[in-house]
Amino acid sequence: MLKERVLKALNEQINAEQYSAFLYLSMSAWFEDKGMPGFANWMYVQYQEELTHANKIFKYVIERSGKAELKAIDQMPVEFDSVMQIAQMTLEHEQHVTALINAILDIAVEERDHATQSFLQWFVDEQVEEEANVTAILDTLKLIDGKGNGLFMLDRELKQRIFVDATQSA
């Protein structure tokens, strides 16, 4: 059974993951509107990943005899200034999510909840990958100054990304 502090933090993280999903879906819609199907695809895959993260935590809470409490999701932005702004926003958001995961892990350590500590390690590793992926895109955008033929080529590259549910192998 989950201790109250751990349960509360996990329920808050379910909400945070759902917000992340819809933030990325909003960004995907913006890219579609701007005629950038590759970026739209990359963000849509991010959306799918974040939903699987929320579901993984949801199932864990249930498995540990906790009560999953779903809350309303805050409104996310729907308009953006540029590709570069979205990439920077995405990196900052992933860094925020990393901090949230680390805070839950800290609570699990304090509460001596070894099972949750083990469970959260997958998310710690996942966040390293998430930050690295968006940093690589941001670095490329800076290199090409976020425009021109380089932007077109990057858009084509990002269109190749496919969703793989990494939570199933964890």
Q: How do the domains of the chain map onto residue ranges?
A: 4-71+79-162
Contacts of 40 (CB under 8 A, 6+ apart): 28, 29, 31, 32
Q: pLDDT tens for residues 21-63?
A: 999 999 999 999 999 999 999 999 999 999 999 999 999 999 9
Q: Is 51 left (phi over 0), alpha (psi -120 to 50) or beta?
A: alpha
Tokens representing 160 are 């190749």
The per-residue pLDDT string of the chain (170 residues; one tens digit each, 9 = 90 and over) reads 899 999 999 999 999 999 999 999 999 999 999 999 999 999 999 999 999 999 999 999 999 999 999 999 999 999 999 999 999 999 999 999 999 999 999 999 999 999 999 999 999 999 999 999 999 999 999 999 888 899 999 989 999 888 988 887 65
Superfamily of domain 4-71+79-162: Ferritin, core subunit, four-helix bundle (1.20.1260.10)
Encoded tokens for 145 = 């100054």
